[in-house]
Amino acid sequence: MTRAAERPVAVRYARAFRWTVIGVVAVWHLGYDVVIIARSVGGYDPVAAVFAAWVLLAAVQTAGAVLLLRSELDAARARALAAVALAAGELAGAAYPPGAAISDVSWAANTVGWTGVLLLVRRPLGELGVFMAVDVGCTAAHMAADGTLGQVGATRLITVAYTTAGIQLIFAWLGRRLHEAARQATESAGRWSAGLARSAAEEAVHAERRRRYEYLQARVEPLLRGLAEARLRPDDDAVRRRTAIEAARLRRLFAETDDTPHPLLHELRACADVAERRAVAVTLLSYGDVPPLPTPVRRALAEAPLLVLAGAASWARLAVVAGPDEVVVSVVADADVEVPVRADGPLSVVLDREEGRLWVETRWNPPGSP
Amino acid sequence: MGGDAVESARIAVGVIDDHPVVIEGVRTWLARDPGIEVGHVADTVEDVPCGLDVLILDLNLHGRLVLDELARLAAAGQRVITFSQFTEREMVLAALDAGACEFVAKNEGSAHLLAAVRTVAADRPYVTPTAAGVLASDRRPDAAPLSERERTALLLWFQSMSKASVARRMGVSVHTVEMYVKRARVKYARAGRPAPTKADMLARAFEDGLIRPDEIVGYRSAASTD
């Protein structure tokens, strides 16, 4: 759940960072580079190499930006484009006048650096470090070839490396920190709400246990105590019936918190199960889809069938018909028990007797239905 | 087939089930009625002889549902009572749609099976409590338009122990309850594919005055040509 929760914020940060990088690269290449090239166009040899390098870099930047925004910039593509960018930088550098690797006419090394930030934004920072090292290394190689890499030249190279590659690396690093911070913040928020949900669930379970315990104490304990102290006789029919009813109630109570797709049928089956242990043949038929019912409604719907099943001598037939606006649970059995008839509110219980058979119907209409 | 001539003669019944013990049991039940004779017994739907008044067919033979064969038999005019231990709504509706005259669940006992055989042989509708439960809870858009009383009668018949009990609940006579249940079943005869057996049942219902032709909304006789 933390993964799903962190996504919006983390994705927003990542997207903002990508657009910023693309913006920086575009402004730099379309603005600064064009101005430098236009101003010094006579100084390059051959000038066509500089034009070609500019176009090539523009193409790499466009391809990289499109792939990045589509989330299709995988490792292989990023590295291939990065190599092309470095090659374009080298092509431009080869056309600079002698001794001008770091000068008013040099433009490529810095742009190549920003292009690298764009291309390697989703790769480990080490890869960008290697890329920057190669970029600066090319400039150093040109200076060495020109013989300008003396003490002054080296100092200039270091200064330029600091102000270009250094800034670019710091920019990439900060972007990553920002993204990481956003992820951590949403993660801890997720953990907090998960903890809240867990403690609420634990409280609900606790309340449920307490309710069941109170029930046991009120109904079952006196029965067991009576049997243990020989005040109640197991061969007394009334005691046996009371025991059968409480056994069914307990069984239904335990089934109540089970996680099943059809809780009402599950609970009725639990009641039937207890009767079947007494060798009562139970048929359970159900037609229609039972709508989701609150626990108290299920409890009320199961109560009359439970009493009849507990009193059945040899057979019982449970029938459930359900629809969105009505749930009817009925039971026919060779039982002779008292079932309270009621007709209050959304729940009604009616019964009929015929030749030793008892039919009890419990009907529930949700409030608001006709 | 059917008609008044048969009513004086004995009803010829076929039994198809893949469990010998079920066949034996059904034969024993049918033997209680001297008006019924068993003319065919098999464990497959191949080679069902002509001239059987009613065929009692287990829907699941050797692990395979025989709904298609049921439809073929019904289309050929054979009255079929499906006799199955599967009572899921889809199964019951599929059997009735395919042209079964009645669905009797195996747990419903001899009285229902005997009554179903006698009633179906006369092209009259018989509704077991299981079928009543399915018809009452059928909420498909093309389900037959049942009246409120018909639906109540079906529902109570499904739940209840006897039609007398249903009559007490509804405050009407047993005869009226019978009529509601039969009318509901007849309305269902138009569901699914047309079959001569369904047309026979409808014709008999019109004859008996159980229902008027205009009450069968959208009904088209299998014999109609338009």
Write down the pLDDT at residue A8.
Answer: 63
All residues of chain B having their beta carbon less than 8 Å from the beta carbon of residue A330 are 159-160
What percentage of chain A has pLDDT greater than the value 90? Answer: 24
A322 in contact with chain B, both atoms CB, cutoff 8 A: yes
Write down the pLDDT at residue B3.
Answer: 43
Would you tell me which residues 44-103 of chain B have a C-beta closer than 8 angstroms to some C-beta of chain A?
Answer: 87, 89
B131 in contact with chain A, both atoms CB, cutoff 8 A: no
Q: Tell me, what DSSP letter sits at residue B18?
A: S
Beta bridge partners of A351: A360
Fold of A233-364: Heat Shock Protein 90 (3.30.565)
Write down the pLDDT at residue B80.
Answer: 92
Give me the residue from A319, A350, A359 closest to B133, CB to CB: A319
Length of chain A: 370
Write down the pLDDT at residue A370.
Answer: 53
Contact A319 B158 (CB under 8 A): yes
Per-domain boundaries in chain B: 4-198
Contact A285 B160 (CB under 8 A): no
Average pLDDT over residues A335-364: 86
| Cα Rg, chain B, nearest whole Å | 17
Write down the pLDDT at residue B221.
Answer: 46
Residue B78: name the closest of B93, B61, B91, B66 by CA.
B66
Residue B182, classed as helix, strand or coil, is: helix
Average pLDDT over residues A171-194: 85
A323 in contact with chain B, both atoms CB, cutoff 8 A: yes
Question: What band does A77 get if pLDDT is binned at 50, 70 and 90?
Answer: very high
Mean pLDDT value across chain B:
81
Model confidence at A43: pLDDT above 60: yes
Question: What band does B214 get if pLDDT is binned at 50, 70 and 90?
Answer: low
Q: How far apart are CA A172 and CA A261, in angstroms?
A: 51
Query: Which tens digit of pLDDT belongs to each residue from A293-349?
Result: 888 888 888 888 888 988 888 889 999 988 888 899 999 999 888 888 888 778 888
Query: Which tens digit of pLDDT belongs to each residue from B125-176?
Result: 888 998 888 888 877 777 777 888 888 898 899 987 788 889 998 899 999 9
All residues of chain A having their beta carbon less than 8 Å from the beta carbon of residue B134 are 287
All residues of chain A having their beta carbon less than 8 Å from the beta carbon of residue B109 are none
Residue A306: name the closest of A255, A353, A244 by CA.
A244
Question: Do B133 and A321 meet the contact criterion of CB atoms below 8 Å apart?
Answer: yes
Average pLDDT over residues A65-86: 91
Phi, psi of A84 (to 5 degrees): -65, -40
Write down the pLDDT at residue A26.
Answer: 93
A262 in contact with chain B, both atoms CB, cutoff 8 A: no
Model confidence at B41: pLDDT above 50: yes
Write down the pLDDT at residue B215.
Answer: 64
Burial A104-126 (b: 16+ CB within 10 A, else e): ebbbbbbbbbbbbbbbbbebeee
Query: Which tens digit of pLDDT belongs to each residue from A82-130?
Result: 999 999 999 998 888 888 888 888 888 899 999 999 999 888 889 999 9
Question: What band does A209 get if pLDDT is binned at 50, 70 and 90?
Answer: confident
Contact B133 A321 (CB under 8 A): yes
Class of domain B4-198: alpha beta
What percentage of chain B has pLDDT greater than the value 70? Answer: 88
**Closest chain B residue to A362 measured between Cα atoms?**
B159
Identify each DSSP E strand in B3-93 by its residue range.
11-16, 36-42, 54-57, 60-61, 64-65, 80-84
Among A156-165, B90-99, B213-222, which stretch is predicted with the lowest mean pLDDT? Answer: B213-222
Look up tokens 């007394």; give the residue. Answer: A236
Interface predicted TM-score (ipTM):
0.74
Positive or negative CA dihedral for A92, A94, A97, A101? positive
Average pLDDT over residues B17-40: 89
Phi, psi of A60 (to 5 degrees): -60, -45
All residues of chain B having their beta carbon less than 8 Å from the beta carbon of residue A284 are none
Write down the pLDDT at residue B223.
Answer: 46
Residue A129: both structure tokens together: 């470090």
- The letter for the amino acid at B206 is F
Write down the pLDDT at residue A134.
Answer: 93
Write down the pLDDT at residue A119.
Answer: 92
Write down the pLDDT at residue B219.
Answer: 47
Residues near B19 by Cβ (< 8 Å), separated by ≥ 6?
B58
B140 in contact with chain A, both atoms CB, cutoff 8 A: no
Which of B160, B168, B177 to mutate to test binding with chain A, by most A CBs within 10 Å of its CB? Answer: B160
Phi, psi of A183 (to 5 degrees): -65, -45
Kindly list the distances between the CA atom of residue A297 and the CA atoms of A331, A346, A370, in Å, as whole numbers in the listed order: 17, 9, 18
The size of the A-B interface in CB pairs under 8 A is: 50
Which of B137, B154, B174 to mutate to test binding with chain A, by most A CBs within 10 Å of its CB? Answer: B137
Give me the residue from B160, B168, B169 closest to A332, CB to CB: B160
